[in-house]
Amino acid sequence: MSLFEVSDPQDGPVVITCPPLIDAKATDEFVKLIQPWMKKSEKLYILDFARVTHLDSSFFRPLVLFYQHLKNRSSFLCSINITGPLALIIKSNGMENALSIKSSKEEAMETAGIKTPAKAKFDVKFINPFITATKATFEMQANTPIRIGKPFLKKEDDKVAIDIAGVISLTSPAFHGSIALCFPAKVFLAIYSNMLGEKHETITREIEDAAGEMLNIIFGQAKAELNDKAGYQIQKAIPTIVRGNQLEVHHLVRNIAVVLPFETDAGSFHLEVSTEAS
């Protein structure tokens, strides 16, 4: 078993996690590791010293040779997680340049000119009005108490199967996108029964519009708050209904969608919000 853990670069840096004890044995293994790396064209190698508690000076000679080889071919060697006594050892041996100490993997990648992937995130202030409007709509209009779950990001290849959804477009000078109110059949039928006092065994054309009506109320309330407080100028829109077994919702934009999950006594449903800058 190797003392060093080496990541698969996949168009990024090669990250080498060093063992706690870098002694003669670890140095010999490092020498063997770098031999094939000398023949490759990777742009950046990062040494991660987070676990290191002992660093023998014999490690520095092959490290300098590797650094010089990378420099000659316009590649980079950086190191991260070097603090305290370890930093003093490196400084006293004049190894700051060879190790090129960075505060993070992202900083090392920036040094080598490698773009870091953008971190997916969502604006809490933007999605909160949709959460508030959904809770109010279901509890007041549909006589259905709901429990709010933790929002999460739905990536393009994630599959959240549902049976019916109301979908409405989002149009603003600042962004465009769509929102979808999504239900499994059992949950939709239970909510419909709570709302109108009618029991149905299956979703039919006569009752499917309820998904759009509930979404329209949610959209109207959230739109009013976002326009008034944040000046988004979100435009009016008309919902459409999509229905089918194990349905998957695909949004107007290919951006990541925020999923807002809710729980009822009959089961769960969710609201999806997907936007991108105009």
pLDDT tens sequence across 3-48 = 999 987 776 799 999 999 999 999 999 999 999 998 888 999 999 9
How far apart CA 235 and CA 175 sit, in angstroms, is 11
The two structure tokens encoding residue 144: 């259905």
Q: Rounded mean pLDDT of the chain?
A: 91
H or E segment to which residue 89 belongs: helix 84-92
How far apart CA 262 and CA 150 sit, in angstroms, is 9
pLDDT at 146 over 90: yes
Segment 91-110 mean pLDDT: 92
pLDDT at 119 over 60: no
**pLDDT at residue 273, rounded to an integer:** 93
Please tell me whether residue 222 adopts helix, strand or coil conformation: helix
The sign of the CA dihedral 29, 35, 38, 42 is negative
Segment 256-265 mean pLDDT: 92
In the 8-state DSSP scheme, what is residue 137?
I
How far apart CA 222 and CA 234 sit, in angstroms, is 10
Q: Do the Cβ atoms of 113 and 121 come closer than 8 Å?
A: no
The CATH 3.30.750.24 domain(s) of the chain lie at 5-111
The alpha carbon torsion through 113, 115, 116, 118 (nearest 10 deg) reads: 150
Superfamily of structural domain 124-277: CheC-like (3.40.1550.10)
How far apart CA 89 and CA 260 sit, in angstroms, is 50
Residue with token string 């149009």 = 171
**pLDDT at residue 98, rounded to an integer:** 93
Q: Do the Cβ atoms of 187 and 270 come closer than 8 Å?
A: no
Other CB atoms within a 10 A radius of the CB of residue 187 amount to 22
Which CATH number, 1.20.120.610, 3.10.20.520, 1.20.1530.20, 3.30.750.24, labels domain 5-111? 3.30.750.24
The CATH 3.40.1550.10 domain(s) of the chain lie at 124-277
Q: What residues are paired with 259 via a beta bridge?
A: 152, 272
